[in-house]
Amino acid sequence: MIEPVQLPAPWRDARLTVVVPTYNEAGNLPVLVERLLALPLPGLKVLVADDNSPDGTGEVADKLAIEHPDRVQVVHRAGKEGLGRAYVDGIGRALDGGAEYVAQMDADLSHPPEALPGMLGALLSTRAGVVIGSRYVPGGQLDENWPLYRRALSGWANLYVHTLLRVRIRDLTAGFKIWRADALRDIGLDRVQSNGYSFQVEMHYLATKLGHTILEVPIRFEERREGASKMTTATKIESALMPFKLRSRHRNIQG
């Protein structure tokens, strides 16, 4: 576990909301929230968007909100509609709640919460609209236990999307990042239509088309500790078709 960066005031007091979509993450969520709230970021809040998890994740989230009423919020969604819809809902609520910066991260502990202060510092010290915690820039690492087929799929997906969309980001499918609120408003969540993991690609593509600077900083990506991956065949098909849809859907957008 890395030691979080100590940011100077007033950076450490920034209103940062971390949006965490969940589906069957009852074992991981309390650990993640504990690590997030332990960061030297007193302005940090956590927004859990749960898709009616059958394993009781929603109830676990409610207990955490009771324990930390000023820092943890829970959004109960009707059912499993996909990662993209959960993020659009959660990010929209974070912006409506006054967040200056919005972070995205998975609930499975694959993204190190302790990297957030450094990512926030990188955002605040540059003109970037978003900072990505990247696996594929120099210094980025993948857990040695990450399965070979997942490594191959991730590498192929990044190469495939980069070839089709010409977006200069090494980790195009990354799900760990911090956005400026004004960049998110400029993108417009109503434009985003992806349901699954291709949500990440669509957001990066829109940010690039609108002229926002995207900065990548290295992280170590860990294998999940509990639960199972949510990657399905339908998700893979959506991700494969998405670059073609994005070029058509957003062809008239300019920064």
d(CA 236, CA 158): 13
The arithmetic mean of pLDDT across residues 195-216, rounded, is: 90
pLDDT of residue 185: 97
| Bridge partners of residue 179, in order along the sequence | 102, 130
Query: Percentage of residues in the chain with pLDDT exceeding 70?
Result: 84
At 155-182, the pLDDT tens digits run: 667 777 777 777 889 898 899 999 999 9
pLDDT digits (tens, 9 = 90+) for 222-241: 876 665 555 555 555 555 66
The whole-number pLDDT of residue 1 equals 73
Q: Which residue has the tokens 């893979």?
A: 236
In the chain, what are the domain boundaries? 16-224+231-250
d(CA 81, CA 170): 28
Burial (0-12, 13-18, 19+ Cβ within 10 Å), 189: middle
Instruction: Show Cβ contacts of residue 183 under 8 Å, excluding neighbours closer than 6 positions.
Output: 129, 130, 207, 212
As a whole number, mean pLDDT of residues 198-203 equals: 89
Asked if residues 99 and 181 have their Cβ atoms less than 8 Å apart, the reply is: yes
pLDDT digits (tens, 9 = 90+) for 113-130: 999 999 999 999 999 999
pLDDT for position 42:
97
CATH class in words for 16-224+231-250: alpha beta
Q: What is the pLDDT of residues 64-95, one digit of tens each?
A: 999 999 999 999 998 888 889 999 999 999 99
